[in-house]
Amino acid sequence: MFNFVIMKRKAVYFDNAASTPLDREVLQVMEHCQWEVYGNPSSVHEHGRKARVELEQSRRTIAGIMNVSPSEVFFTSGGTEANNAILWGCALDGRIRNFITSPLEHPAVLRPLELICREKGMGLHYVKNGNTGHVDLEHLSLLLGKYPDALVSLMHANNETGNLIPVKAVAELCREHGALFHSDTVQTIGKFETNIQKLGFDYAVASAHKFHGPKGAGFMVIKGGREFSPIIRGGGQERNMRAGTENVYGIAGMAKALEISAGRIEKDMEHISGLKSELIRLLYENIDGVQFNGDAEGSSLYTILNITLPARVDPEMLLPALDIEGYSVSTGSACSSGSNKGSHVLEALGRSGTEASLRVSFSRYNTIDEARGLAGVLKKLCTG
Amino acid sequence: MFNFVIMKRKAVYFDNAASTPLDREVLQVMEHCQWEVYGNPSSVHEHGRKARVELEQSRRTIAGIMNVSPSEVFFTSGGTEANNAILWGCALDGRIRNFITSPLEHPAVLRPLELICREKGMGLHYVKNGNTGHVDLEHLSLLLGKYPDALVSLMHANNETGNLIPVKAVAELCREHGALFHSDTVQTIGKFETNIQKLGFDYAVASAHKFHGPKGAGFMVIKGGREFSPIIRGGGQERNMRAGTENVYGIAGMAKALEISAGRIEKDMEHISGLKSELIRLLYENIDGVQFNGDAEGSSLYTILNITLPARVDPEMLLPALDIEGYSVSTGSACSSGSNKGSHVLEALGRSGTEASLRVSFSRYNTIDEARGLAGVLKKLCTG
């Protein structure tokens, strides 16, 4: 008798900008809460107080790491909701009359801005980007001169290319003109030492599942009590800024995930930057005509690498081929991968959309062997 | 040497309309997902597909129980967001010009309606209620005759009194006039055999943590492809109706919780109705002048009982006293318990707001002894 054992290799996960695996310690915190803490944090009895304690302890942990006051942290269901809430909130208040953004922003900023400006008759202005996708500061200054009553929305790190904006320079320009500065910081929180105070954001947002926390939990930082008109209304939760029973377990897990990530940022940065450099090196060495989108080797987030392969690679076959080889990567943002359109980011960077491009995004769980394995498979796809 | 063992009695939980404990089977489903299913359901690779399967299987389970098509179920972060999304969606579309609602609705309906009508210049009309809090159908008919281009928003069961609306009569009136019918069904889903098709809702909403599922997950049912303009925008999730990465574990837990609840509704209804009847009986027997708000012994949800105690009970001391005695109950909705205002529902029913009132809300985990214990404590508070 023979025993057949079919070995199923687990696919290597290189799509951490889309979502990350939960940290085991985060899972433990969540399991405890899910079983023990079932009261509604708005209830004033023993069960409610227990949930309230979890909630406020999480807020304090997060505020401490962000270097803001707990009163400046508001929980949401994630980054998309937080972006929508901030943009709507500022528009409903009537404090601003114009928005300045970039064509490279995430749809969670571009789509609400289009709706808001249509509904409220507000101006929507796009700042130019150079070839590598960096924001044109002179043009931004020009726009701010024209529209000082604006909210500027520019993401900290681009989710497709990893490009970083010069945060302090943008914040300084906004301050000079009296404009507000919102940044979609979903890709950077938990990956940089995010000192909101020092960086100069008026509004920042986070999504727990981007830093080994749970899906369904996020937060917004609203500096200096710039309270605004909430978009989700109902009960008095989150000091009237976001109605709806709080996702207590998700929030407790998020606080733990941020605490863990913040405590090991330097170590992770070194490890992950090493993976990215090694992949760049191997691809340059082995694939003639490979290109990296954005400012991959310059001012770029260490967790993201956006690659365009030579023309001989069929763009339609790239992801399926990598999937079969056991590598989970994406072409661009997961949020738009359901649609057949090319990436609006790569298009804005001058790509035609007919090239075979992919985004590799790393986490602390990836290894150098996985990066080398991917390089090998990409080489094979380009020569095979 | 003595060993002192301090026995801490666990408080009895009678605030299930605010939130419910997780079912252990639900927790198991969530734990599995939290550890194993970390891909983004919008990603097309192996990890993404695994998450997508969980998501769509959950949608099918829920749709089956609601007797709707899976394409009519959209996931949200909870009931409040779902109510906001539906009301905004209908207003943004321009399909309707008026809203008809009741002063007894949850703030998650009243607050967004106030904002929407202010922003969009739409009409907001309140249907009258009788003394027991039931909707005045003649007045509703009159309003619909005047404003046929309306959306009617009336909650299935009131969250404070448990009062049920005559759903089919309201749905019939709406249909006759060509109006749309939205119902905040947060308190009834998982507690009635909620056949959306048969009841005649155009829009219904659910919140998982009200039926032993997790906080942070909910859904909206949108009948017959009445697609609308989404309020949270960004990626193409939920077929462009609700942007943001889906809370996969929460959604899987919600589907499991609904499945369990749906499978034991009759059993639970019998058990819980028994608790409610027994509490009513004991309070009538032992407390002179006790009153039940709404239509407690008539058309009322079996899980909720709203009580007003005689004038000699200090309303300020009622909840703290019950808390000390080990009973977690609330005065009204948890969502507004942070504020010092009296209940807008009891006020609309003619209460002055200076009486000592409490809401007792049951679940399948409560026992007859707990109900009797509460009756005893209330008796003591009224005589002591």
| Percent of chain A whose predicted confidence (pLDDT) is above 90 | 84
For B104-120, the pLDDT digits (tens) are 999 999 999 999 999 99
Q: What is the ipTM of this complex?
A: 0.95
pLDDT band at B9 (very low <50, low <70, confident <90, very high): low
Please check whether residue A328 touches B, CB under 8 A. yes
Please check whether residue A337 touches B, CB under 8 A. yes
Helices (H), chain B: 24-36, 46-66, 79-93, 107-120, 137-146, 167-177, 196-199, 237-240, 248-263, 265-286, 315-324, 344-348, 368-383
Quote the CA–CA distance of B100 and B143 in Å, as a whole number: 8
pLDDT, average across residues A199-206:
96
Q: Are A19 and B245 in contact (CB < 8 Å)? A: yes
Task: Mark which residues 38-57 of B lie under 8 Å from A by CB.
Answer: 38-40, 42-48, 51
Place of tokens 């980054």: A79
What single string gives the DSSP state of each residue in B290-317?
-EE-SSTTSSB-TTEEEEE--TTS-HHH
pLDDT for the residue B162: 97
pLDDT, average across residues B236-255:
96
Please check whether residue B322 touches A, CB under 8 A. yes
Among the CATH numbers 1.10.230.10, 3.30.70.100, 3.90.1150.10, 3.40.50.880, which is that of B265-383? 3.90.1150.10
Quote the CA–CA distance of B101 and B136 in Å, as a whole number: 11
Res. B197: pLDDT tops 70: yes
Q: Are A39 and B15 in contact (CB < 8 Å)? A: yes
Task: Mark which residues 81-140 of A lie under 8 Å from B by CB.
Answer: 81, 83-84, 92, 106-109, 111-112, 115, 119
Question: Nearest-CA neighbor of B342 among B318, B351, B101?
Answer: B351
| B189 in Cβ contact with B167 (< 8 Å) | no
pLDDT for the residue B340: 45
Q: How many CB pairs under 8 A join A and B?
A: 285
Annotated active-site residue in B33, B90, B174, B335: B335
pLDDT, average across residues A308-312:
91
Please check whether residue A235 touches B, CB under 8 A. yes
| A210 in Cβ contact with A20 (< 8 Å) | yes
pLDDT for the residue A53: 97
Quote the CA–CA distance of B153 and B164 in Å, as a whole number: 14
Residue A272: CA count within 13 A, CB half-sphere: 23
Please check whether residue B216 touches A, CB under 8 A. yes
For A103-129, the pLDDT digits (tens) are 999 999 999 999 999 999 999 999 999
Strand order across the A180-183 sheet: A73-76, A218-222, A203-207, A180-183, A150-153, A98-101, A123-126
Q: Which of A114-128, B218-232, B335-349 has the highest mean pLDDT?
A: A114-128
Place of tokens 């809401």: B359
Res. B4: pLDDT tops 60: no
In words, the CATH class of domain A24-263 is alpha beta
Mean pLDDT of chain A: 93
pLDDT for the residue B8: 54
- Which residue of chain B has the CA closest to A35? B22
- Which residue of chain B has the CA closest to A341? B236
Res. B13: pLDDT tops 80: yes
| Number of residues that this document lists for chain B | 384
- Which residue of chain A has the CA closest to B19? A40
Helices (H), chain A: 24-36, 46-66, 79-93, 107-120, 137-146, 167-177, 196-199, 237-240, 248-263, 265-286, 315-324, 344-348, 368-383
Res. A194: pLDDT tops 90: no
pLDDT for the residue A8: 54
Q: Which range among A326-340, B146-160, B219-233 shows the weakest confidence by mean pLDDT? A: A326-340
| B159 in Cβ contact with B17 (< 8 Å) | yes
A199: amino acid identity, one letter: L
Distance from CA of A234 to the nearest CA of B (A): 4
Sequence ranges of the domains in chain B: 24-263, 265-383
Cβ neighbours of residue B270 closer than 8 Å, sequence gap 6 or more: none
Please check whether residue B293 touches A, CB under 8 A. no
Res. B353: pLDDT tops 80: no
Q: Which range among A42-56, A126-140, B343-357 shows the weakest confidence by mean pLDDT? A: B343-357
Helix (H, G, I), strand (E, B) or coil at B324: helix
pLDDT for the residue B1: 42
Kindly list the residues from chain B whose CB atom is less than 8 angstroms away from the CB atom of residue A345.
Answer: none
pLDDT band at B182 (very low <50, low <70, confident <90, very high): very high
Distance from CA of B189 to the nearest CA of A (A): 17
Q: Which range among A67-76, A225-234, B330-339 shows the weakest confidence by mean pLDDT? A: B330-339
Q: Are A247 and B244 in contact (CB < 8 Å)? A: no
Helix (H, G, I), strand (E, B) or coil at B180: strand
pLDDT for the residue B333: 56
A382 classed as catalytic: no
In terms of Cβ atoms closer than 10 Å to its own Cβ (0-12, 13-18, 19+), residue A30 is buried
pLDDT for the residue B338: 46
pLDDT, average across residues A242-270:
97
Radius of gyration of chain B (CA): 22
pLDDT band at A360 (very low <50, low <70, confident <90, very high): very high
CA distances from A18 to A356, B40, B153, B373 (A): 19, 6, 37, 51
